[in-house]
Amino acid sequence: VRDHGEESPLFSLFVEDDEDLVAEAIEEVVSIIEQGRLRGRSHAYAVYVAGWTLLRSRRDPLRACELLESARADAAARGFTVLAARAAANLAFAFAFMGALTLALSTLNSNDMPEDGPWRLYDGGIQDAALGLIRYWRGELSAARTAFTAVIQGYSDAPYAHFARVFAALVAAEVGGSEARIEALAELQKVPQVTLLGVPWRSWRAIAECALARARGDRSTTIRLARQVLRADNVPVATALAADALRWAGDVDGARAALGRISTSAPPGYLVASVGVTRALVAYRAGDTRTAHFRLEQALDAAADEQSLLPFCRDEEALRRLLRSHVSAGTRHEVMLATILGRTQEETSALSSLSGRERQVLAHLRTTMTPAEIAVALDVSLNTLKTHQRAIYRKLGVSTRRAATRLRE
């Protein structure tokens, strides 16, 4: 690169922290690439670094994907196997971040992932971070925790360890006990409260701490931290989570204002779903059930293709009631809704006697699906389904499907 006299903007991508200066450097590097001022080995590496930086800044994930895909193809064609692997790992994370969860998982599974090397300092652990993100938004929180823990333990000083600490805390807020949440909070203290290499870590740390405050029922701290998140721009996921936290804490006006700040320009499906669920719950709280069901159906539409189930699986009674009533209101997503209901059933003395499979069956019985359709959805025979159904009725002390599904209403 130095031979072409273009080292300055490329160097800036590695050392600059100011978000605006990083954006300017990216544009300069891309311009150099498009003008053909770099050749051979320099070209492949410059395209990779531009995509890597654009991904890190989160300003334009789609463009980052285009650059990383180009870098991967160029590197593979030239036999630069290490660079091709690094580009593939970053591409998988970019796909996950922009909501293409299936494509991200496919990229992780179909490419040789990079070995540790000099780039460990910059993106060590990125493949586990990508996997964790996929599992998180699909509501597979135990698998997400495993992936994020692998990053934290294996790459404690790399930037993706900070990312993993934030999302591990979000996972702990959803499903962890008090001990897990205390551990997550301790790990968050290692996340910087400044912008580094274009990443606004202060906002990410604040939303994770906000989620933990919400999990322990601390409304005042939840509101304070959510408002802190809203002082920053270009953090739509954190903003959406802050909006829902404000809604939960009773600051409905603040939640609406936060939702209004989220860009509608090609957002990820999981972000649309998260915003939709929050809007649905705001309407539900106000007694506007028609709007609540309309918003919820929109959220289900956004989540369907990639099965981004997390926004529907949070442990909140108002959400569970809305989901259960949505079956009767009518939905295009009965199978997905049954899956969600199977994950969100609150513990009662009656339900505690049911096995995990029986709870899945009970969730599907809440829909209008026929026994044959439920059997197909659960990949069991009709006779096996009927066996589960009889066991559910016996344990719940009922004799009909209607009685079983109305038990918790």
Amino acid at 100: A
In 252-381, which ranges are continuous DSSP H helix? Answer: 252-259, 269-285, 289-304, 317-329, 334-344, 356-365, 371-378
pLDDT at 355: 84
d(CA 64, CA 94): 7
pTM for the whole thing? 0.81
d(CA 343, CA 36): 53
Helix (H/G/I), strand (E/B), else coil: 366: coil
pLDDT along the chain (409 residues), means of 10: 49 61 70 65 78 73 85 88 88 92 92 70 87 96 95 89 96 92 96 82 96 96 96 88 97 95 83 97 96 97 96 91 89 89 64 80 84 88 90 85 69
Q: How many CB atoms lie within 10 A of CB 63?
A: 16
Element of type H or E holding 199: strand 199-200
d(CA 399, CA 394): 8
CATH number for the domain formed by residue range(s) 345-409: 1.10.10.10
**Would you list the domain boundaries of the chain?**
263-331, 345-409
